[in-house]
Amino acid sequence: MEKVRVGIVGLGWVAQIFHLPILSKMDDVEIVAVCDKDKSRAKFIAERFGINSWYSDYEEMVKRDDLHAVDICTSTDAHLPVALAAMQGGSDVFVEKPIARHYDEALKMSEAAKEYKRKIMVGMNNRFRPDAMILKSFIEGGDLGKIFYVKAGWLRKLTADNAWLTRKEKAGGGVFLDLGIVLLDLSLWMLAFPTVHRVSAKMFNHGTKNVEDTCLGFFEMKNGITVFFESSWAFQAEQDFFYCEFFGSEGSAKLNPLQIHKQLHGSLVNVTPAKSETPQNLYKKSYENELKHFIGSVRGFHKIVSTAEEAVHRMKVVEALYKSAAKRKEIIIK
């Protein structure tokens, strides 16, 4: 194919700030259609980005015979029906995180991809941060020795643009499915996907009714690595912040900013690569790298990173975590 012809469903902030600007600048991509339940928004965005076709019904859009891929940026409750319709129509799928509200929805999407022989990539853009990729190479190379402890957190205030995240029927859960799942995925990916053995969590909802606005907890892997995390929309902090720290027998490292320290000849030495970028630029590049990877996989250049199968496993851990919080006890994952 000369160009990958893409249709985008859901035109909220993530589509407008990242997906549309990035995809529209890629030489091997043509955005042939956009879709949003709000007709005026769909029309406005199509005109703004010079896209000829716009829809308010995704089922109409995915019936087009000129689509290679569908990019899903809707609220989480729509991920399953849009993805199924797109794959039935013959398109590969990119879907923003989380893949679905529940484990069973994720499983249906994964099984449908096999049935229709289509590709699904789940948006986990933090894997594609340049600093995250550097850190992963250090961990894989054994520079930090044996990793035994990970500490991660993401604290961010809610905005009016994503208020739907507090509605359980749309989001499936609260802050953990918004921010915490990113910490889970980043930790598992950095550590080459060890099996999660047990989880424990405590959730609070000071400013929300039906979902948690703060989630604290830990995962223990079968190989003994322990991960502690905190995620919140409600911490009374001066500013939002994100961090992920890894502690090994021979060194330690963290993200945001990237810092890597290693034991050398009895001393702890800073071996962080000299080049540094602003958090904003790293975040933007993560989306650019992620979407370029998806387009490359549609073109057959490489296999997909962040697959539906991985997401199904992740959702099994997520459900155990919510069960732990509800039952106020540790959950063993079999």
Domain at 4-125+288-306, CATH class? alpha beta
- Residue 93 CA to residue 88 CA, distance in Å, equals 11
For the chain, 334 residues long, the average pLDDT of each consecutive 10-residue run is: 94 97 97 98 98 97 96 98 98 98 98 98 97 97 97 91 91 97 97 97 94 97 97 90 96 96 93 85 95 98 96 97 98 94
- Strand 331-332 relative to strand 196-204, pairing: antiparallel
Answer for the pair 308, 110: CB distance below 8 angstroms, yes or no.
yes
Measuring CA to CA, how many Å separate 92 from each of 37, 62, 74, 207, 261? 22, 11, 16, 38, 41
CATH 3.20.20.20 at 127-277+314-332, yes or no: no
The domain ranges of the chain are 4-125+288-306, 127-277+314-332
